Amino acid sequence: MTTHLSHLFKPCLTLLFLSLFQSRTTFSALIISLRNHHSHPQHRSPRPMFQTNQTTCALFTGTWVRDDSYPLYQYSSCPAIDPQFNCQLSGRPDSDYLKYRWQPLNCQLPRFDGAAFLSKMRGKNVMFVGDSLGRNQWESLICMILAGDPQTQTQMNRAMPLSTFKFLEYGITMSYFRAPYLVDIDVVQGKKIVKLDDIAGNGNAWRMADVLVFNTGHWWTHEGSLQGWDMIQSGGKYYQDVDRLVAMEKGLRTWANWVDTNVDISRTRVFFQAISPDHYDPSEWSAGAMAMTTRNCYGETTPYGSN
């Protein structure tokens, strides 16, 4: 019996996304099609871009360790970082948070090599799709690559919804497609409509990618001035509001069905990033929240321990 991606979201919505592109080994293990976990007789199983012993290397079991040789790039030398996400440029005084790398429990990850990445990915199109989490990953990966070959010829174009960064000598295109809900949003009589059952408009831009890295999450629960839509369309009906998590699940099923139908796993790898912690309400992170929890992130500059 064939199992499709649309069944992944009950109860678990995503695969864990840890330090994508931190090394060639990580890249090989993480950029694996979601559909690799299911049986599709009409497609042959793809080979990983790089070989790794996945039976002994538990990439997702480990810890963040301090490494004073990090960061892999300097914010001042990378043209790809959006100013609003450039913490150092905005005056953050400390930098120790940049000196951590992911260390799996029982294997070593080689240091990321930007020049080797360019050589291995020659002629490929890598696309991040989603909200600012995807944009941050897109920008960071570009910076990591440039640190390995700072003289390579590049071309950058920021636009909505698609931004691209090209490594001209290698024929590599790194793209970011902004789609915070993944599904389509249409404007009808001045109203923004999230269409839970429709993704064809956005999906047309994703078809030719060799690597697709998706994410969605926080925008589904935004309210007030942060809410990105006026109405929701589902099953041919319009709603001013619905249960946000139910809407998110319906949208993700539409996305999963699109992947099942449109992605050829013999040439394209698909990955879905896990959602990041909520960080929009300062009171949840400030000293004022200490009465509600014994653990708080206010003023912290190093990771919490395991206890």
What is the β-pairing status of strands 237-239 and 231-234? antiparallel
Alpha-carbon distance of 187 to 27, in angstroms, equals: 38
Query: CA-CA distances (angstroms) from residue 237 to 92, 129, 197, 200, 254?
Result: 47, 27, 11, 18, 16
Could you tell me the two tokens for 18? Answer: 């840890």
* CA separation for the pair 246, 114 (Å, rounded): 41
Domain boundaries, the chain: 15-58+110-274
228 pLDDT band (50/70/90 cuts)?
Answer: very high
Q: How far is CA 233 from CA 179, 180, 192, 205, in A?
A: 17, 16, 10, 22
Q: Regarding predicted confidence, which is higher, 228 or 16?
A: 228
* Average pLDDT estimate for 36-63: 53
The pair of structure tokens assigned to 270 is 């698909």
The residue that leads in pLDDT, 204 or 46, is 204
Higher-scoring residue by pLDDT: 109, 3: 109
More confident site: 43 or 239 = 239
Residue 88 has pLDDT above 90, yes or no: no
Taking alpha carbons only, the member of 33, 41, 34, 15 closest to residue 267 is 33
Bridge partners of residue 37, in order along the sequence: none
Which pLDDT tens digit goes with each residue over 243-283?
999 999 999 999 999 999 999 999 999 999 888 877 666 56
Instruction: Please give the pLDDT value at position 288.
Output: 53
Tell me what the pLDDT averaged over the chain comes to. Answer: 80
- What is the reported pTM? 0.78
Identity (one letter) of the amino acid at 253?
R
Name 85's Cβ contacts closer than 8 Å, sequence gap at least 6: 132, 135, 136, 139
The token duo for 22 is 């931190």
Helix (H) or strand (E) holding 32: none
CA–CA gap between residue 4 and residue 1 (Å, rounded): 10
